[in-house]
Amino acid sequence: MFALISSIRVAPEDAATLEQAFAKVAAHVRANEPGTLAYYMAHADRAGAYRVIEVYRDEEAFSDHKASDAFQDFRPRLGAMLLGAPEVEKMDVAV
């Protein structure tokens, strides 16, 4: 089991669009991806700054998530909004 914690930034005027798009993907994940154990986005301290928290059972579950139609639809929309590259930290879940 492993976690990905990503820091992303969008322009404050794109925040609502990002949240709506992420909510659509998250609904798909929760309904269709049993190997994705957690999938959340949280506000960070600055306007337009977010943390995305993902926990996967294994690499296969992560591959399934990346290949899903919902994620493939979301990915270019997210990319168009990002202010810079995401900072992603991958770590094994200890407990």
**Tens digits of per-residue pLDDT, 20-77?**
999 999 999 999 999 999 999 999 888 899 999 999 999 999 999 999 999 999 999 9
Looking at the DSSP bridge assignments, the partners of residue 91 are 3
**3-class DSSP state for residue 44?**
coil
C-alpha distance from residue 26 to each of 22, 38, 46, 78, 94 (Å)? 6, 9, 23, 14, 24
**What pLDDT score was predicted for residue 44?**
82
**What pLDDT score was predicted for residue 1?**
98
Architecture label for domain 2-92: 2-Layer Sandwich (3.30)
What pTM did the predictor assign?
Answer: 0.92
Query: Residue 58 corresponds to which amino acid?
Result: D
Are 18 and 83 contacting, i.e. CB atoms less than 8 angstroms apart? no
**What pLDDT score was predicted for residue 31?**
98
Residue 91 makes CB contacts below 8 A (sequence gap 6+) with 2, 3, 5
Residue 71 makes CB contacts below 8 A (sequence gap 6+) with 25, 28, 65
- Residue 17 reports pLDDT greater than 90: yes
- Residue 12 reports pLDDT greater than 90: yes
